[in-house]
């Protein structure tokens, strides 16, 4: 029996995708071999990677003057690749500047890496309240090389409602935990990147969507694997890419189209989030961590206010088939990640379980 998996990543995948992958494990596309066995430069793998890119472009509406790169290293590697490629300088040259809004632990990690290569100004921060809101975002400085945000903050459960106005300064966003959760205007960004292990597929693949004019500016000393032009010039085949995750991503994208595309996915995601938040707001036992204007529709953290009771709930939930509900190790508490592949039924059943748990404990 499959459980309801509320993991923040690697996370739940659509059951039809898993079933199709299983059926094609030993013979993908009539080739007589698994995608795991294919040479990345073979005629058999070429349609796999081309299909994945074409589907992503169509579903997200990616303009033709943007490159789509399939990379390794996780989203965390982009914390270095972004400043190196957009603001890196040769030895002896004056360092460039960039702006960043600090809205959580992943934005802070990006900041800590970027300051090695560029002068980063933290334009706004929500650290004063444990990152439980999105601060007002000032405009960038005219000479900034880029403006960096994390669009959805997985650990603390906040998301941007309106994008900062950056003018001619390229807006860069980590969209790891919200990619494909709703329509997004790609043309509003210079660079988008996402680890695959939440809404795209299994761990091991990172997708980068980058405007053409931002490619090719890394300083000469940049490691070859950390240059966007290295991968753009070779169609993501400079070295062996994460072939199997790319294949699974293609299946996930086909599933999204079969479900009705991003407008349908967004409506379903908002329905799931409303089910959970409405209960939390009315509960006398559980308390949501984030106030309504800033709440993520992907990651919902909550607490009872008693660490021991949190742990009791987590154990009881796991026994009932609701797994991976523990909050991030740095913040604790409880967190339900309700990505695209989590059905509405799963959230409804979780809420029913929480109501029963509350009834049994509030009456004590």
Catalytic residue among 67, 96, 198, 272: 198
* Boundary of a domain, candidates 259, 293, 309: 259
CATH number at residue 355: 3.90.1150.10
Give the per-residue pLDDT at 58: 98
Q: b/e string for 178-192 if b means 16 or more Cβ within 10 A? A: bbbbbebeeeebbbb
Angle at 324 between CA 4 and CA 196, to 5 degrees: 85
Give the per-residue pLDDT at 1: 80
Query: Are 333 and 197 within one domain?
Result: no
DSSP string over 83-112: HHHHH---TTSPPPEEEEEE-SHHHHHHHH
CATH number at residue 223: 3.40.640.10
CA distances from 320 to 12, 217, 314, 354 (A): 17, 53, 10, 11
* Tokens read off for 208: 């980068």
Catalytic residue among 174, 255, 272, 310: 174
pTM: 0.97
The closest alpha carbon to 7, from 299, 324, 298, belongs to 324
Query: Are 241 and 201 within one domain?
Result: yes
Query: Are 254 and 265 within one domain?
Result: no
Query: Are 255 and 268 within one domain?
Result: no
Query: Are 200 and 315 within one domain?
Result: no
Could you tell me whether strands 206-211 and 158-159 are parallel, antiparallel, or unpaired per DSSP bridges? Answer: unpaired
* Residue 38 DSSP one-character state: S
Query: Are 138 and 29 within one domain?
Result: yes
116 tagged catalytic? no
* Boundary of a domain, candidates 213, 235, 259: 259
The closest alpha carbon to 288, from 297, 268, 279, belongs to 279
Cα 351 from Cα 335, distance rounded (Å): 13
Query: Are 24 and 143 within one domain?
Result: yes
Give the per-residue pLDDT at 238: 98
Residues in CB range of 309: below 8 A, 6 or more apart = 361
* Residue 295 DSSP one-character state: B
Give the per-residue pLDDT at 363: 64
Query: Are 90 and 106 within one domain?
Result: yes
Adjacent-strand bridge partners of 172: 148, 191
Domain count, the chain: 2
Query: Are 253 and 290 within one domain?
Result: no
Q: What is the dihedral of CA 36, 41, 45, 47, to 10 degrees?
A: 160
* Boundary of a domain, candidates 259, 290, 305: 259
H and E: helices and strands count for the chain? 9, 14
Catalytic residue among 106, 160, 272, 310: 106
* Residue 124 DSSP one-character state: E
Phi first, then psi, for residue 31 (nearest 5°) are -90, -15
* Tokens read off for 278: 């409405």
Query: Are 95 and 50 within one domain?
Result: yes
174 tagged catalytic? yes
Query: Are 250 and 309 within one domain?
Result: no
CA distances from 290 to 130, 131, 287 (A): 10, 9, 9
* pLDDT digits (tens), the chain, 364 positions: 899 999 999 999 999 999 999 999 999 999 999 999 999 999 999 999 999 999 999 999 999 999 999 999 999 999 999 999 999 999 999 999 999 999 999 999 999 999 999 999 999 999 999 999 999 999 999 999 999 999 999 999 999 999 999 999 999 999 999 999 999 999 999 999 999 999 999 999 999 999 999 999 999 999 999 999 999 999 999 999 999 999 999 999 999 999 999 999 999 999 999 999 999 999 999 999 998 999 999 999 999 999 999 999 999 999 999 999 999 988 889 999 999 999 999 999 999 999 999 999 986 5
Helix (H, G, I), strand (E, B), or coil: what is residue 136? coil
In terms of residue numbers, what domain contains 291?
4-11+261-362
Query: Are 80 and 151 within one domain?
Result: yes
């Amino acid at each position: 029996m499959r459980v309801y998996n509320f993991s923040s990543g690697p996370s739940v995948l659509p059951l039809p995708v898993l079933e199709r992958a299983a059926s094609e494990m030993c013979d993908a596309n009539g080739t007589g071999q698994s995608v795991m066995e294919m040479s990345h430069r073979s005629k058999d793998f070429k349609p796999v990677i081309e299909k994945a890119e074409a589907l992503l472009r169509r579903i997200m509406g990616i303009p033709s003057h943007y490159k789509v790169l399939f990379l390794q290293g996780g989203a965390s590697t982009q914390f270095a690749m972004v400043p190196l490629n957009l603001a890196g300088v040769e030895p002896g040259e004056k360092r460039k500047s960039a702006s960043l809004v600090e809205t959580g632990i992943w934005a802070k990690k990006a900041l800590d890496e970027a300051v090695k290569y560029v002068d980063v100004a933290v334009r706004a921060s929500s650290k004063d309240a444990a990152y439980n809101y999105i601060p007002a975002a000032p405009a960038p400085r005219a000479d900034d090389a880029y403006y960096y945000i994390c669009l959805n903050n997985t650990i603390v459960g906040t998301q941007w409602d309106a994008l900062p106005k950056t003018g001619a300064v390229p807006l860069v966003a980590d969209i790891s935990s919200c990619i494909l959760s709703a329509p997004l205007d790609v043309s509003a960004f210079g660079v988008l990147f996402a680890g695959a292990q939440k809404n795209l597929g299994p761990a091991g693949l990172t997708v980068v969507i980058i405007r053409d004019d931002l490619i090719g500016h890394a300083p000469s000393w940049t490691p070859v694997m950390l240059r966007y032009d290295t991968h753009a010039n070779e169609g993501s085949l400079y070295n062996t890419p994460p072939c199997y995750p790319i294949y699974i991503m293609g299946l996930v994208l086909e599933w999204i189209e079969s479900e009705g595309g991003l407008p349908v996915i967004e409506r379903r995601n908002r329905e799931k989030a409303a089910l959970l938040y409405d209960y939390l707001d009315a509960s006398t036992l559980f308390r949501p961590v984030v106030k309504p204007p800033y709440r993520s529709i992907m990651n919902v953290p909550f607490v009872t206010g008693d660490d021991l009771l949190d742990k009791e709930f987590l154990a009881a939930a796991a026994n009932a088939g609701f797994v991976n509900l523990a909050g991030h190790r740095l913040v604790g508490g409880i967190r339900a990640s309700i990505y695209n592949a989590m059905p509405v039924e799963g959230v409804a059943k979780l809420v029913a379980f929480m109501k029963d748990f509350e009834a049994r404990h509030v009456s004590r």
